[in-house]
Amino acid sequence: MSGPLAAWAGTWSPDSGVPGSSAFFTLIASMAGWVSGLTLVLSTSLSCCAIDTCQTAMFASLYDMVEQKVNIWVVRATVVLLNIPIIFLAMRAPDILQVYLLADLLACATILPVLFGLVKRLNFVHWTDALVGCFGGIIAVGVFGQAYLGNVHDGWRLLLLDGGLYVEDERVLGAFCVAPLGSVVFTFFFAGLRRLVTRLLGRQQYLYVNSIAESSDEDRETTPEKEYASEKPPS
């Protein structure tokens, strides 16, 4: 709502030459100094909280992926290394809206393989299948860009969304449509390939079992019998 508020207050207009993404700063600049300082402190605190939560989630996810068999400092160093390309992309982005657009594209490429873990009928999907599906969704965007734009350079640069959201063609719409479809295709393709190799090697197939849910179901089945037994009079 900062843009409409700035336009309503008269600090920003389409003819002012200031990008719409910076309308909030024109509104803050017109206020008292203590308001600007308080806004800066609160905005920084909010960003630090979000970044801290993201770093903790990355560390916990990586530590679970290696099944807690790797030294904890190795996982922490991996998280630090993963932040390098993130910072590079953030510095290359011309405005904050493009950063959010990149995050949305990454979410489209990874959300469906993650949600497959909530479907009981898809208990054959291993976490490696979901991981391959996430990377497959990103690769699918690059392949689509190469086919749509007709050259390798511009096609794979579609992953960075250099032109932003408002472009003359449908490349951005196609990227957001191809990303989830590609992640689904790669997830099930790798799951089928993994199960085929496992069967050829004579190993047991992977099936996820929710031990917590099963234990709760067993408790529900045995609870009435226990209550009935406790109500029997002593002999």
pLDDT digits (tens, 9 = 90+) for 91-133: 776 667 777 888 888 899 999 998 998 888 888 888 889 989 9
Q: What is the pLDDT of residue 225?
A: 46
pLDDT of the residue at 211: 53
Average pLDDT score over the chain: 80
Percentage of the chain with pLDDT > 70?
86
> How far is Cα 108 from Cα 85, in angstroms, rounded to an integer?
19
